[in-house]
Amino acid sequence: MPQVEMQSEIPLFFEDRASHISDNPDWRELCWVSGREPRLWMRPEMYQGLMRSVQQQLELTTDHSLLEVGCAAGMLAKGFAPLCKQYVGLDIAPGAVAKARTLGLPNATFEVANAQQMVYPDGAFDRAVCYDVLTNFDSFAKVEPILREMVRMVKPGGKALVGSIPDESCKEAFLKRAGEVSKELDAKFGPLPPPPQKHRGPWKRLASFFKKEPPASTPEIVCYYFRKEDFLRLGQELNVHVEIGAVHDENPYAAYRFNVIYSQIR
């Protein structure tokens, strides 16, 4: 079993983001907590494309239980929960989980947990998904425990999908495209909207007004890239079927990212 090593800045970054949003967060706030570009994800076809591709690649039905690893404040839970029987979202950032619980999704529960050491028994779920999370880890060695846990927790015949993984073999082309997309969005929608206001109680606001406190520094996070070969090798080692899937066409970065689907043999 590889050594489990946490990246301590990850929960800090997402906790800070969750502290900027209200209960029952709106779409813009959900984008903020998930670190998504709001001008891109405001387009319904982006979100619908993501949902459709994950549903197809996981062969997800309304009879299935689904675990989402790294659910943040539930942006994807809103789409996944209606596609399955029972949805469970987990995330390491308690503030994000608290906001997800206010969404009022009837067949969904949300838990605070570290995906590298999950507590569910073997085969607890029919399906598992982890989307746009691995990119926050700086090495395959750190994501490997998450993948092993996801595979362990799906039933025989079940599937685990890890999604939208930045492909190391086309990093330069991806960065070039990111610059172009940013310019296209500026031209179409104007500059990036400011982040939602941080939510602080009235006493804290008053105290900081009189103390003239400098604004709190915001934690930062970096995105990392991965090699398909590492995911294929792990699948062989775990004795599961592995497929590399495409990211949905509506995503302007589809050519530079990939999904991995691990299927448990019956």
Cβ-proximal residue to ligand SAM, closest one = 70
Among 47, 80, 87, 131, binds ligand SAM (CB under 6 A): 131
- Other residues' Cβ atoms within 10 Å of the Cβ of residue 227: 13
Contact range with ligand SAM by CB under 6 A, out of 20-28, 51-59, 111-119, 242-250? 111-119
Among 53, 57, 65, 136, binds ligand SAM (CB under 6 A): 136
| DSSP one-letter string for the chain | -------THHHHHHHHHHTTS-SS--HHHHHHHHT--HHHHTSHHHHHHHHHHHHHHHT--TT-EEEEES-TTTTTHHHHGGGSSEEEEEES-HHHHHHHHTT--TTEEEEE--TTS--SPTT-EEEEEEES-GGGSSSHHHHHHHHHHHHHHEEEEEEEEEEEEEBGGGHHHHHHHHHHHHHHHHHHH-SPPPPPPP---HHHHHHHHHHTPPPPPPP------B-HHHHHHHHHHHT-EEEEEEPPTTSTTGGGEEEEEEE---
In the bound state with ligand SAM, the residue whose beta carbon lies nearer, of 89 and 157, is 89
Residue 76 makes contact with ligand SAM by CB under 6 A: yes
Contact range with ligand SAM by CB under 6 A, out of 9-17, 55-63, 190-198, 244-252? 9-17
The encoded tokens of residue 92 equal 């390491």
Among 58, 105, 115, 154, binds ligand SAM (CB under 6 A): 115
Residue 65 makes contact with ligand SAM by CB under 6 A: no
- Per CB under 6 A, contacts with ligand SAM among 34-63 are 34-35
Write down how long the chain is.
266
In the bound state with ligand SAM, the residue whose beta carbon lies nearer, of 130 and 234, is 130
**Nearest Cα to 160, choosing from 266, 232, 59, 34?**
59
Per rule CB under 6 A, count of chain residues that contact ligand SAM? 21
In the bound state with ligand SAM, the residue whose beta carbon lies nearer, of 195 and 229, is 195
Shortest distance in whole angstroms from residue 234 CB to ligand SAM = 17
Residue 174 makes contact with ligand SAM by CB under 6 A: no
Among 93, 147, 162, 234, binds ligand SAM (CB under 6 A): 93
In the bound state with ligand SAM, the residue whose beta carbon lies nearer, of 76 and 165, is 76
Binding residues for ligand SAM, rule: CB under 6 A, are 10-11, 14, 34-35, 70-72, 75-76, 91-93, 96, 114-116, 131-133, 136
